[in-house]
Amino acid sequence: MAVVDLAEAAPGILVLTMQDRVNKNAFTDEMTLALLDAFETIAAEEQAKVVVLTGFDSYFSTGGDQSALLRLHEGEGNFATTSLYSLALDCRIPVISAMQGHGIGGGFVIGLFADMVFLSRESVYTTNFMKYGFTPGMGATYMVPLKMGTALGHEMLMTARNYRGEELKQRGVPFAVLPRDQVLPEAVKAARQLAEKPRVSLITLKDHLVAEQRRRLPEFIQAEVAMHQKTFHQDEVKEKILSLFGR
């Protein structure tokens, strides 16, 4: 089974499902290439008006896999080699992230790049970069405070602790937080509302609404890569990746 599935749920509505059950939707090389290819396909779909990005069962995405983190520790490339993190932002049509399952590290951040976000009460959401001793990447230092609020966003980035969706709801996050089985249906319902509008109008409005994000993001990516040069190559980071990954 392919690690992603792209299907038309209704006229103008595409649902992109990450479904790598073996790796819990981690950003393996296969998943990364599949997502890049899927968004290229979406860009060529001239009738598409909205994309719903979701996962399977209790997982949305678990972010970078252990082997990728170890390669970064060894200085083999950086997370900005591809535009994986900003696929939703760069997409011309609106993207809705239906994070019905756990969103971990970059897996949570990639969902926050969407134009609309739905979370589940039961799932865990975390920006766990500092758990392993390296500073956040994937645009997290910009997108997390922007979408979650400055105080909560900074707390999430610095403590790297886990938050259930219900706790985030109580903390006042500006997203719908629903029982897990309602997340995708409600996201599709929102997609239907968008699909009623002309495609040109949706694209034009999105371009206006996210113009500042698209303009500012590169400076944050550059700063995050520079911070990784200082923090990723510590022996302690490798030890934490080997001992704590997946816990």
State the pLDDT at residue 175. 97
What is the reported pLDDT for 70?
A: 86
pLDDT for the residue 105 = 96
Q: What is the pLDDT of residues 1-28, one digit of tens each?
A: 899 999 999 999 999 999 999 999 999 9
Q: Is the pLDDT of residue 246 over 80?
A: no
Does the annotation count 228 as an active-site position?
yes
pLDDT for res 80: 81
pLDDT at 69 over 90: no
Catalytic residue among 102, 154, 208, 228: 228
Give every CB contact of residue 6 below 8 A, 6+ residues apart in sequence: 14, 15, 16, 17, 38, 41, 42
Q: What is the pLDDT of residue 66?
A: 85
pLDDT, tens digit, for every residue of 188-215?
Answer: 999 999 999 999 999 999 999 999 999 9
Q: What is the pLDDT of residues 133-186, one digit of tens each?
A: 999 999 999 999 999 999 999 999 999 999 999 999 999 999 999 999 999 999
Average pLDDT, the chain: 95
- Of the pLDDT bands very low, low, confident and very high (cuts 50, 70, 90), residue 119 is very high
Residue 79 — very low, low, confident or very high, per pLDDT cuts 50/70/90? confident
Q: How much of the chain exceeds pLDDT 70, in percent?
A: 100
What DSSP string runs through the chain? Answer: --SEEEEEEETTEEEEEE--TTTTTB--HHHHHHHHHHHHHHHH-TT--EEEEE-BTTEEE-BS-HHHHHHHHTT---GGGSSGGGHHHH-SS-EEEEE-SEEETHHHHHHHTSSEEEEESSSEEE-GGGGGTS---TTHHHHHHHHH-HHHHHHHHHH---EEHHHHHHTT-SSEEE-HHHHHHHHHHHHHHHHTS-HHHHHHHHHHHTHHHHHHHHHHHHHHHHHHHHHTT-HHHHHHHHHHTT-
Q: Which CATH number fits domain 4-180: 2.60.40.10, 1.10.287.90, 2.170.260.10, 3.90.226.10?
A: 3.90.226.10
pLDDT-derived band at 72, boundaries 50, 70, 90: confident
Q: Is the dihedral of CA 153, 155, 159, 163 positive or negative?
A: negative
Q: Which residue has the higher pLDDT, 92 or 76?
A: 92
